[in-house]
Amino acid sequence: MSETKPLTRRQQREEIVKQLYQMDIHDDWTFFETHYAYVEDTLKAIAEHKDAIDEIIVRNLKNWKLNRLSYVDRAIIRHATYELWLTDVPYEIVINEALNITRKYTDEGDDKMVGFTNRVLENIRADLGRQGS
């Protein structure tokens, strides 16, 4: 029997984004159980507050509609919005992690999606009144 190496917090965030992506595509806001309480608790909270999270995102998208975002970008921004709104994680970490995940999964090497995601999350941070730590 082989032991699996524990996931880092970034890898757990990526797992959350992957599951949010699947939930959105199938319009089924249930999720697969994992061995990580952080992943399960986060997915449960995002599913519970999805409409409010989406309202925050819509309020801060400039010249975009939520349904115009790709499923992956929506998942990344939903997760980051949840962390900005309902956790004590410093906003610098939330935004940096979201940008790294964007860079890995949706950016085409030109930093356009990274820049877009950064602008949206900075708008959300300001809207929520989050200050630096």
Domain ranges of the chain: 9-128
pLDDT category at 132 given cuts 50, 70, 90 is low
Q: Which residue has the higher pLDDT, 19 or 34?
A: 19
Give CA–CA dist 45/49, Å, rounded: 6
Residue 96 in this model has a pLDDT that exceeds 50: yes
pLDDT of residue 85: 97
Token pair listed for 62: 């400039």
pLDDT bucket at 62, cuts 50 / 70 / 90: confident
**Architecture in CATH for domain 9-128:** Orthogonal Bundle (1.10)
Mean predicted lDDT score pLDDT of the chain: 92
Q: Using 50, 70 and 90 to split pLDDT, how confident is the model at 86?
A: very high
Instruction: Give the pLDDT confidence of 45-61 residue by residue, as tens digits.
Output: 999 999 999 999 999 99
Unique residue bearing structure tokens 């061995």: 35
Name the pLDDT band for 35 (thresholds 50, 70, 90).
confident
Q: Does the pLDDT value for residue 80 go beyond 50?
A: yes
Please tell me the distance from the alpha carbon of residue 118 to that of residue 133, in angstroms, as a whole number.
Answer: 18
What confidence tier does 29 reach under pLDDT thresholds 50, 70, 90? confident
Nearest CA among 46, 15, 45 for reference residue 32: 15
